[in-house]
Structure 1
Amino acid sequence: MCTAATYLTDHFFFGRNLDYERGFGERVTVTPRSFPLPMRHLNEVTQHYAMIGMASVQAGYPLYYDAVNEKGLCIAGLNFVSSAVYRPCPAEGRGVAQFELIPWLLGSCAGVDEACRLLEGVCITDDAFLPGLPPAKLHWLLADRRRCVVIEQTADGLHIYDDPAGVLTNEPPFPLQMFQLNNYAQLSARPPENRFSPALPLRAYSRGMGAMGLPGDLSSQSRFVRTAFTRLNSASGTGVAEGASQLFHILGAAAQQRGCCVLEDGACELTLYTSCCDADTGVYYYTTYDSGHVSAVDMHREELDGAALISYPLDDVWQVRLQN
């Protein structure tokens, strides 16, 4: 299970938690402009926008979980196991394999509006990347600083939904996630009035009572509501440090701790990493479950006109800065 969110100050930030029981050798990966992107059903893309994100590199190809391109367009794929439906490539029309979608959109488009036009008439196909590696069932949060949308392909076709909450988790389909926010319309960051005993303000009892009823469990729907509330009420100053730190805290409200979500086989799901892309500067910040600090890779410090992937292993070592 996963959570993704956008956050806009004087910079545009985009990030996600990746929640799973194990990693797949993911690395922070830069795809430069001349790295060839073969396509199963379309022409190979040989020149495209550069991008950076978290990917599992398999057979020399970046299988991105989330990424941002040099124009500030961001995307993250989140598990959508019960509802995602992929199909064979239609005889007429355009087919894009599930694993091609992120590099194809980021390589081709400078913004959300352009990406939505590119997706018109597209079918996300069920092609396996390799034998024994079937397509992951996902839906996607796609955003720039002006617009945020959700991409889903279900039994009745491909849908693109505007996302005013700027948040996405897993199941159910996005319209149902948004509808559930109606059940929490009374929540507020401000203290409520004690109508039964006006002489005893509730703030004297406890701070934070305006959010009474905010769900705290780890289910997808509860994480969606909690992250939407936290994001809506977040206040940040200007600058990269405050904005990126705030997005890490927004996503931290939905993070999963080891041992709290036990699966059928006894394994525990946890937040393997949290990312925060500064879409304005091309810097990819991240933390891992065990590291305890923020690491970063700057896309623009790499040779972006090259043709070879650049990737960095995750900094996953606990570090403490002693002050005495």
Structure 2
Amino acid sequence: MCTSILYNSNEHYFGRNLDYEIAYGQKIVITPRNYEFDFHDLPSQKSHYAMIGVSVVDDNYPLYCDAINEKGLGVAGLNFEGPGQYFPVEKGKKNITSYELIAYLLSNYETVEDVKQGLADANISDISFSENLPAAVLHWMVADKTGKSIVIESSHKGLNIYENPVNVMTNNPVFPVHLINLSNYADVSPIQPTNFLAPKVELNMYSRGLGTHHLPGGMDSASRFVKATFALAHAPQGKSEIENVTNHLHVLKSVEQAKGLDEVGPDSYEYTMYSDCMNLEKGILYCTTYNDSRIRAVDMHKEDLDSEKLICYNLFKDQDIEYEN
């Protein structure tokens, strides 16, 4: 279960919380322009746009969880168990495996409009990367530096692409249902409520924040969608890169999961393993992890983007505490 957002300020910041109970050795990975992608049912691609993101690397292949490219396009894959469905390879279609989709889109496209056109005849095929890494059932949020985003979902109805007016995505149910559910919380507000209940009675407004009294706070995907939408819609506009990154990460922190609160099996709990924020204009990835709340950054443009080899940085580190005395 995860949450992804696009935060629009003077620049545009794309990122996500990755919530799960098992880590797979993810790293911060830069794929340079001349790394060859050997796609399963599409022609191999020897040159493409460079990209940076968080990825598992298996057999020297980047299996991205989320990433952006040098043109300012970002894609994140989030769990979609239940409604999600992939299909056999279909003749006459552009067949893309789920594990390749992020790399394929970032290799070839610059905007969400390009992606919509590029996937017009696409089929997400039910092929796994390997026996040890079966295909995860996902849906994807795609964003660009125009400040727009879309959601890609493959279900029993086929491949659907939805406009995303709130720039937020979580997990189940299907995206249109999330948007309908927002209507149930239309009166949630950051300001104190007006007393319409008993207008002639002077009620004791006993606490600040009563306008958010009905805002859901559960770990479930529907609650996270509502809360992240509220937090993002009211997030301040930063005046600097540090302010913007801080604001973005605070929106994600509003729906982060602590260990011990979301049991998924005996003595097994889902939690927010990492939160990232990627500047779509600058190609910089910022991140924190569960055990390291210090913000760290990797700038893709400080590497040789014309090389052929993956460039990897450790994602998970121990907490770094600065003592003042």
Q: Output the TM-score relative to the length of structure 2.
A: 0.97
Aligned to 1:318: 319
- 263 and 315 in structure 1: CA distance in 2 versus 1, 3 angstrom threshold: closer
What SS does structure 1 have at the residue aligned with 2:105? helix
Alpha-carbon distance in 1 for matches of 2:307, 2:314: 20
Aligned to 1:46: 46
What SS does structure 1 have at the residue aligned with 2:84? coil
Aligned to 1:291: 292
Aligned to 1:271: 272
1:283 is aligned with what amino acid?
Answer: I
Q: By how many angstroms is 1:287 displaced?
A: 0.4
Aligned to 2:101: 101
Alpha-carbon distance in 1 for matches of 2:201, 2:82: 51
What SS does structure 2 have at the residue aligned with 1:89? coil
Aligned to 2:257: 256
Q: By how many angstroms is 1:200 displaced?
A: 3.9
What SS does structure 1 have at the residue aligned with 2:277? strand
Given that residues 295 and 315 in structure 1 are in contact (C-alpha distance below 8 angstroms), is that contact kept between their aligned partners in structure 2?
Answer: no
Alpha-carbon distance in 1 for matches of 2:185, 2:48: 43
Alpha-carbon distance in 2 for matches of 1:22, 1:132: 15
Alpha-carbon distance in 1 for matches of 2:133, 2:252: 29
Alpha-carbon distance in 1 for matches of 2:21, 2:289: 13
Q: By how many angstroms is 1:128 displaced?
A: 1.1
- 45 and 213 in structure 1: CA distance in 2 versus 1, 3 angstrom threshold: same
- Structure 2 residue 94 is matched with structure 1 residue 124: no
Aligned to 2:68: 68
Instruction: Name stretches of at least 5 consecutive residues in structure 2 with no aligned partner.
Output: none
What SS does structure 2 have at the residue aligned with 1:293? strand
1:209 is aligned with what amino acid?
Answer: L
Given that residues 97 and 127 in structure 2 are in contact (C-alpha distance below 8 angstroms), is that contact kept between their aligned partners in structure 1?
Answer: yes
Q: Output the TM-score relative to the length of structure 1.
A: 0.97
2:113 is aligned with what amino acid?
Answer: D
Aligned to 2:160: 159
What SS does structure 2 have at the residue aligned with 1:140? strand
Larger deviation, residues 229-238 vs 23-32? 229-238
Cα deviation per residue 1:104-131 (whole Å; 9 max; x = unaligned)?
Answer: 0001001111111111110000111112
Instruction: Name stretches of at least 5 consecutive residues in structure 1 with no aligned partner.
Output: none
**What is the correspondence of 1:162-201 to structure 2 with a 5 Å cutoff?**
162-195=163-196, 196=198, 200=202
What SS does structure 2 have at the residue aligned with 1:4? strand
- 206 and 48 in structure 1: CA distance in 2 versus 1, 3 angstrom threshold: same
Q: By how many angstroms is 1:198 displaced?
A: 6.1
Q: By how many angstroms is 1:199 displaced?
A: 7.1
Alpha-carbon distance in 2 for matches of 1:121, 1:57: 29
Query: How many residues of Structure 1 are paired with residues of Structure 2 in the alignment?
Result: 323
Alpha-carbon distance in 2 for matches of 1:201, 1:31: 59
Cα deviation per residue 1:248-288 (whole Å; 9 max; x = unaligned)?
Answer: 10000110000001122321110000011011111100000
Q: By how many angstroms is 1:292 displaced?
A: 2.0
Cα deviation per residue 1:143-184 (whole Å; 9 max; x = unaligned)?
Answer: 013210000000011000000010000000101111100101
Alpha-carbon distance in 2 for matches of 1:109, 1:51: 12
1:232 is aligned with what amino acid?
Answer: A
- Structure 2 residue 33 is matched with structure 1 residue 33: yes
**What is the correspondence of 1:19-30 to structure 2 with a 5 Å cutoff?**
19-30=19-30
Aligned to 2:16: 16
Aligned to 2:83: 83
- Structure 2 residue 59 is matched with structure 1 residue 59: yes
Q: By how many angstroms is 1:316 displaced?
A: 1.6
Aligned to 1:208: 209
1:80 is aligned with what amino acid?
Answer: F
Alpha-carbon distance in 2 for matches of 1:315, 1:65: 15
Aligned to 1:307: 308
What SS does structure 2 have at the residue aligned with 1:210? helix
